[in-house]
């Protein structure tokens, strides 16, 4: 059974592309394209103006260059900024109206779009290239007053909420990629949980880049109102192409008083081939504001794909007693590069943050933890605990830890622990002697190494993630 699964997954399992006629904006980045996007989405004028303002700002911003992974210059004029499957230009009202080929694609990905699979208990919003194609379980959620839909739909139906919170965590002119996203974002998910409501199921988005020469700029906004709770999962794949594709998403989370948001990502974008050709540039801005007192935001990420991963899911701990958590597994193999970590900004009193980062590097890959913990002067009695562990496999890969620590309050404490180790030959021998082959042994040891983070994932994802961890490292120990 296991062999069969491994066989299926051996090469990049999600490397198929779907042959669907798509409807695209002309290539290039300019005001017309932005107007085109806004127009096709029938957006209110304030949003168009907001986009244009971002575009103005973008003209004076420079791409950041402080990150470790370098990449060839991206020609922003040579990308499509909007690509929609043609059949979706009249937006589907129900699953029956969705192009069967798209449904087939999601089926191949193992995404239960079909409501018959409701036993899975996960509501899914699926984003295909630039548009959201289906949102399941809508009725059940609506009964509780929960809004879970594409951001395009939210702009139409819940403009006040969107206007109030969009850009409130990641300001319009934050940095190059975030601003680019604000100018050209196409779709993404929107979640609103009303006060004192516990979302009864995991909410999930699946992103897939299909069309070639397409950037994906999705925008996700999640608001947990007072005393509410939501757990949100995000999974990503892309077909194999020998060009590099850009993915620059913005994700904003807002937790009000006593609210909690748990945000989990399993990122498995196409990493490029073993010579480093192709693969996704995953340049993502994720930020959460613990705006209310006693609020909590917890990020969990399993990053195994992409040619370059460059992201720092962060928490702004504004409310007193608020809590921020970041649990991360970043695996890089072959020529993959990751520069990832988090920012924990303590503003409120008695705020707490916890960072657990596990970096695994194999082949010729490079893996960097970069993180900022900053305690502002009013954040008295705040605490941070950071643990960064790196595991190296082989002699040609690298692991780096760069923590930035700023403590401006003498009553607050920050702890940082870091370890770097190589996968131990004796451990492998011990496992082999007990009958495990090399792949099984590596999988067991690495999963053990990552356990603290894997435990944070919802059950359905944890199993998938464990397999993914093993598959990403196949053939990495000789």
Partner 1 sequence: MLNIKNLEAKVENKHILNGLNLNIKPGEVHAIMGPNGSGKSTLANVLSGKNGYDTKGEIKFDRQNLSELSTEERAHKGIFLAFQYPLEIPGVNTNVFLRTSLNSVRKARGEKELDTLSFLKLVKEKSSELGIDEKFLSRQLNVGFSGGEKKKNEILQMKILQPKLAILDETDSGLDIDALRIVADGVNSYKNKDNAFLIITHYQRLLDYIKPDFIHVLSKGKIVKTGNAELGVELEKTGYANFI
Q: Is residue 36 exposed (0-12), middle (13-18) or buried (19+ Cβ within 10 Å)?
A: middle
Closest separation in Å from C-beta 426 to partner 1: 6
- For residue 329, which of 442, 198, 474, 468 has the smallest C-alpha distance? 468
**Does the protein bind partner 1 through residue 410 (CB under 8 A)?**
no
Q: Contact with partner 1 (CB under 8 A): which of 17, 168, 409, 427?
A: 427
What does R_g of the chain's alpha carbons equal in angstroms? 21
Choose between 89 and 419: whose C-beta lies nearer to partner 1.
Answer: 419
The answer to the question of residue 452 lying near partner 1 (CB under 8 A) is yes
Least separation in angstroms between residue 121's CB and partner 1 is 22
Q: How far is the CB of 444 from partner 1 (least distance, A)?
A: 6
Helix, strand, or coil (residue 423): coil
Three-class secondary structure of residue 379 per DSSP: coil
- Residue closer to partner 1 (CB basis): 67 or 427: 427
> Is 184 in contact with 216 (CB distance < 8 Å)?
no
To partner 1, the closest distance from the beta carbon of 445 in angstroms equals 6
Q: Is 120 in the site for partner 1 (CB under 8 A)?
A: no
Q: In this structure, how many other beta carbons lie within 10 angstroms of the beta carbon of residue 320?
A: 21
The answer to whether 429 contacts partner 1 (rule: CB under 8 A) is: yes
- Of the pair 5, 377, the CB lying nearest partner 1 is at 5
Least Å from the CB of residue 233 to partner 1: 23
Q: How far is the CB of 302 from partner 1 (least distance, A)?
A: 15
User: How many angstroms separate the Cα of 316 from the Cα of each of 132, 181, 267, 373?
Assistant: 29, 21, 23, 10
Residue 284 exposure: Cα atoms within 13 Å on the Cβ side: 30
Cβ 436 to partner 1 shortest distance, Å: 5
Please report, for the chain, how many H helices and E strands are present, in that order. 12, 24
Interface stretch with partner 1, choices 211-219, 258-266, 377-385, 422-430 (CB under 8 A): 422-430
Between 402 and 463, name the residue whose CB sits nearer to partner 1.
463
Q: Is 469 in the site for partner 1 (CB under 8 A)?
A: no
Write down the least CB distance from residue 441 to partner 1, Å.
Answer: 8
Neighbours of 132 (CB within 10 A): 24
Q: Does 474 bind partner 1 (CB under 8 A)?
A: no
Torsion sign (Cα): 240, 241, 243, 249: negative
Indicate whether 419 belongs to the interface with partner 1 (CB under 8 A).
Answer: no
Q: If binding is defined by CB under 8 A, does position 327 make contact with partner 1?
A: no
Query: Binders of partner 1: how many residues, by CB under 8 A?
Result: 23
Residues 167, 169: Cα–Cα separation, whole Å: 5
Nearest to 460 by CA among 209, 134, 203: 203
Stretch that binds partner 1, among 50-58, 161-169, 247-255, 426-434 (CB under 8 A): 426-434
Residues of span 432-451 touching partner 1 by CB under 8 A: 432-438, 440, 444-445, 447-451
**Minimum Å distance from CB 449 to partner 1?**
6
Choose which of 65, 96, 417, 425 interacts with partner 1 (CB under 8 A). Answer: 425
Identify the CA nearest to 344 among candidates 287, 418, 291: 287
Locus of tokens 């190296």: 392
3-state secondary structure of 252: strand
Cβ neighbour number for residue 457 with a 10 Å cutoff: 24
Which one among 145, 196, 413, 430 touches partner 1, defined by CB under 8 A?
A: 430
Q: Is 335 in contact with 304 (CB distance < 8 Å)?
A: no
Contact 61, 126 (CB under 8 A): no
Q: Which is nearer to partner 1, 121 or 448 (CB)?
A: 448
Contact 306, 282 (CB under 8 A): yes
With respect to partner 1, which residue has the nearer C-beta, 84 or 473?
473
Tell me the closest approach of the beta carbon of residue 478 to partner 1, in angstroms.
Answer: 11
| Chain residues in the site for partner 1 (CB under 8 A) | 424-427, 429-438, 440, 444-445, 447-452
């Amino acid at each position: 059974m296991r062999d069969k699964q491994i066989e299926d997954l051996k090469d990049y399992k999600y490397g198929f592309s779907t042959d669907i006629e798509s409807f695209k904006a002309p290539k290039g980045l300019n005001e017309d394209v932005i107007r085109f996007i806004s127009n096709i989405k029938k957006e209110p004028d304030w949003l168009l103006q907001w986009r244009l303002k971002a575009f103005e700002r973008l003209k004076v911003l420079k791409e950041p260059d402080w990150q470790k992974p370098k990449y060839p210059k991206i020609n922003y004029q040579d990308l499509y900024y909007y690509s929609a499957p043609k059949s979706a230009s009249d937006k589907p009202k129900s699953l029956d109206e969705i192009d069967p080929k798209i449904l087939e694609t999601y089926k191949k990905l193992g995404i239960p779009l079909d409501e018959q699979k409701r036993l899975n208990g996960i509501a899914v919003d699926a984003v295909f290239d630039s548009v959201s194609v289906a949102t399941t379980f809508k009725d059940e959620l609506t009964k509780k007053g929960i809004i879970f839909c594409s951001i395009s739909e939210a702009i139409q139906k819940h403009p006040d909420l969107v206007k109030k919170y969009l850009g409130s965590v990641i300001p319009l002119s934050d940095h190059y990629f975030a601003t680019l996203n604000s100018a050209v974002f196409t779709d993404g998910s929107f979640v609103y949980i009303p006060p004192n409501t516990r979302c009864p199921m995991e909410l999930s988005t699946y992103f897939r880049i299909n069309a070639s020469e397409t950037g994906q700029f999705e925008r996700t906004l999640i608001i947990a109102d007072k005393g509410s709770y939501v757990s949100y999962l995000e999974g990503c794949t892309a077909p194999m192409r020998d060009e590099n594709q850009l993915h620059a998403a913005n994700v904003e989370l807002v937790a009000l008083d006593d609210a909690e948001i748990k945000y989990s990502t399993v990122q498995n974008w196409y990493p490029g081939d073993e010579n480093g050709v192709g693969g996704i540039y995953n340049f993502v801005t994720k930020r959460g504001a613990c705006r209310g007192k006693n609020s909590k935001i917890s990020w969990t990420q399993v990053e195994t794909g992409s040619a370059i991963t460059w992201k720092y899911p962060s928490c702004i701990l504004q409310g007193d007693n608020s809590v921020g958590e970041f649990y991360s597994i970043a695996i890089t193999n072959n020529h993959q590069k990751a520069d990832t970590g988090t920012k924990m900004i303590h503003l409120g009193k008695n705020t707490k943050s916890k960072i657990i980062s596990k970096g695994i590097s194999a082949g010729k890959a490079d893996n960097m933890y970069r993180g900022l913990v900053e305690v502002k002067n009013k954040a008295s009695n705040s605490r941070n605990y950071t643990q960064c562990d790196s595991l190296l496999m082989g002699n040609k890969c690298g692991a780096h830890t760069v923590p930035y620590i700023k403590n401006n309050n003498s009553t607050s404490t920050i702890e940082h622990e870091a370890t770097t180790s190589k996968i131990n030959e004796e451990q492998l021998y011990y496992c082999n002697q007990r009958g495990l082959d090399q792949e099984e042994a590596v999988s067991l040891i690495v999963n053990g190494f990552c356990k603290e983070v894997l435990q944070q994932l919802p059950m359905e994802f944890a199993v998938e993630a464990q397999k993914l961890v093993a598959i990403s490292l196949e053939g990495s120990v000789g």
